[in-house]
Amino acid sequence: MIATTRTADPTLLTALEQNAGVRAIVGLALSEDIGRGDLTTEATVAPEATAVAEIRQKAPGVVCGLPVVALVFATLDPRITVTPTVAEGSFGERRVVARIEGPARSLLTGERTALNFLQRLSGVATASQRAAELVAGTGCTVLDTRKTTPGQRVLEKYSVRIGGCHNHRAGLDDGILIKENHIRAAGGITAAVTAAKGRTAPMQLVEVEVTDLAELDEAVAAGADVILVDNADLAGLRAAVARADEHGTNGRRPRLEASG
């Protein structure tokens, strides 16, 4: 694996930090873990005690989620100070990624929630980086899906981008993707695309999932802008690219995506 040195886009960081949904997720996570109170900490740690802690990264990977760690502790106790020691989105191993200082009770109560977010998001970002490196220089990009952990989508899609891949639809209201069940319900590819085109804005793209070249041809003829080739092997993908190029000679070359 190539140890890529990268840092998060400041615009992306700002969007995350200002996202009300992220604050709601953090609040829910804290409520889920703390419940009626941290019985162990309250029983064993003096209220006036203070502490300093370090978060250490052991395995190689992309660190992602430091702003969420800060939000966890800010939500729990504004007296806690979180100081990142590496850049969000940077690759490394065996290093301190953040230092935390404040009331010992609050630090102990919030540590697991903070680490859960940091570990999960860093894992997604690291996997994303590996995927991006596999297609580097090919002209292809890797897109994510809606197959995310329920309630965690905004964070996981953020992590995908931190790792170097790209987001597909954020939700059902973020684009038209006609899949197998839509096609069956509509009565066929042509009927589904025609109906979708009749309800979209002029610049709205219509994407259609296909499983063979005949369906690809029908989707293009119906006016689909993007073709998602599903569950094809390498030979099938090459054939789909060649067929799309043929349509391109008539000015109807669709953009291709592959999944499976």
> What is the Cα–Cα distance from 191 to 194, expressed in whole angstroms?
5
Neighbours of 90 (CB within 10 A): 21
Q: CB of 115 within 8 A of CB of 64?
A: no
> What is the Cα–Cα distance from 9 to 124, expressed in whole angstroms?
17
Neighbours of 15 (CB within 10 A): 13
Angle at 160 between CA 25 and CA 143, to 5 degrees: 125
- DSSP line for 29-81: HHHHHHTT--HHHHHHS-TT-EEEEEEEE-SSEE---HHHHHHHHHHH-TT-E
Write the CB contacts of 54 (distance below 8 Å, at least 6 apart in sequence): 96, 98, 99, 100
Write out the catalytic residue numbers: 112, 147, 179, 209, 230
DSSP at 228:
E
> What is the Cα–Cα distance from 128 to 145, expressed in whole angstroms?
12
> What is the Cα–Cα distance from 78 to 76, expressed in whole angstroms?
7
How many angstroms separate the most distant Cα atoms in the chain?
76
